[in-house]
Amino acid sequence: MAEQPLIPPRGKVNLADYDPNYRGQWEREAARERVMALREELSVLQNKLYADGRHAVLIVLQAMDAGGKDGTIRSIFTGVSPQGVEVTSFKVPTEEERSHDFLWRIHKRVPRKGMIGVFNRSHYEDVLVVRVNGLVAESVWRKRYDQINEFEELLAESGTTILKFFLHISKDEQKKRFEERLADPGKHWKFSLGDLEVRKQWDLYMRAYEDVLEKCNRPYAPWHIVPANAKWYRDLVVMETLVKTLGGLPLRFPLAEAGIETVVIPD
């Protein structure tokens, strides 16, 4: 089991107390092997979740740019049946999305029973980028923490298990990853000049994240702060948490049809 002393937070959250470089006693190779073993477990559990059809799982991924959201999704779901996983990436809202309440586009994408839904960014953008850039009045975004909690409680009470991960990288690590993107033409598409503007607002984002982690960390929808400077440790923590959560659900295969014991398949 990966040691996870950094999660989940309780009470006041100061992100400076959480080391993005933390990796417990783990070394890269051992962690990679463990992730491979867990991948097999995840594949079996996902198949059972799908067959059972009574529970849904929602994974929310949030991070600063280059924080590893895409890489985490690739790593965690390699080897899992694509039929049972639905990934949604939330971008700047379209005009249609903006003309509804902020949860409208989110609610439409939550996983149905039997499915694992993955949000690459989420409704939390509406209290992160929206807050930092003042895209709506403070009186509007302030209310959203409660609105989000109630929304997530509704999902939980409707059979959805919610796991939220904040992939925590340092500002130095982001610089390194941006430089890698600039140095590799195959990664240029991942870089936008706007990312530099967001980087300038780093401290404001950290304050906004701290509020999210503090106000929206509920037993029915816990936040996990994942030390994410080392990609292999990040993958290990997310994988362990997911497999443990799925393993804790009362999953069972549906009962066989009556009479199946005596069936002989004709030639």
**Interface with ligand AMP (CB under 6 A), residue from 22, 46, 125, 166:** 125
At 128, which amino acid appears?
Answer: L
Q: Does 121 bind ligand AMP (CB under 6 A)?
A: yes
Q: Does 126 bind ligand AMP (CB under 6 A)?
A: yes
Could you tell me the two tokens for 256? 């066989």
Contact range with ligand AMP by CB under 6 A, out of 46-54, 120-128, 161-169, 256-264: 120-128
Contact range with ligand AMP by CB under 6 A, out of 36-44, 48-56, 86-94, 162-170: 86-94
**Interface with ligand AMP (CB under 6 A), residue from 31, 130, 169, 237:** 130
CA distance 16 to 84: 37
173 binds, among ligand AMP, Mg ion, none (CB under 5 to 8 A by kind): none
At 182, which amino acid appears?
Answer: L
Return the residues of window 166-195 that contact ligand AMP according to CB under 6 A: none
Write down the least CB distance from residue 120 to Mg ion, Å: 10
Handedness of CA 87, 195, 212, 170 (dihedral sign): positive
3-state class (DSSP) for residue 164: strand
Q: Going residue by residue from 52 to 91, which x/- string records binding to Mg ion, judged by CB under 5 A? A: -------------x--------------------------
CA distance 117 to 95: 24
Residue 174 C-beta-side C-alpha neighbours within 13 Å: 18
Write down the least CB distance from residue 133 to ligand AMP, Å: 8
Write down the least CB distance from residue 128 to ligand AMP, Å: 7
Residue 10, classified by CB atoms within 10 Å of its CB into exposed (0-12), middle (13-18) or buried (19+), is exposed
**Interface with ligand AMP (CB under 6 A), residue from 52, 93, 132, 201:** 93
3-state class (DSSP) for residue 89: strand
CA distance 65 to 198: 8
Write down the least CB distance from residue 63 to Mg ion, Å: 10
Q: Compute φ and ψ for 248, nearest 5 degrees.
A: -85, -10
Q: Does 212 bind ligand AMP (CB under 6 A)?
A: no
Write down the least CB distance from residue 183 to ligand AMP, Å: 19
CA distance 97 to 120: 17
Are the CB atoms for 167 and 198 separated by under 8 Å? Answer: no
Of 80 and 206, which CB lies nearer to Mg ion in the complex structure? 206
Peptide bond preceding 227: is omega within 30 degrees of 0, i.e. cis? no
90 binds, among ligand AMP, Mg ion, none (CB under 5 to 8 A by kind): ligand AMP
Judged by the rule CB under 6 A, the positions of this chain that interact with ligand AMP are 90-93, 121, 125-126, 129-130
Judged by the rule CB under 5 A, the positions of this chain that interact with Mg ion are 65
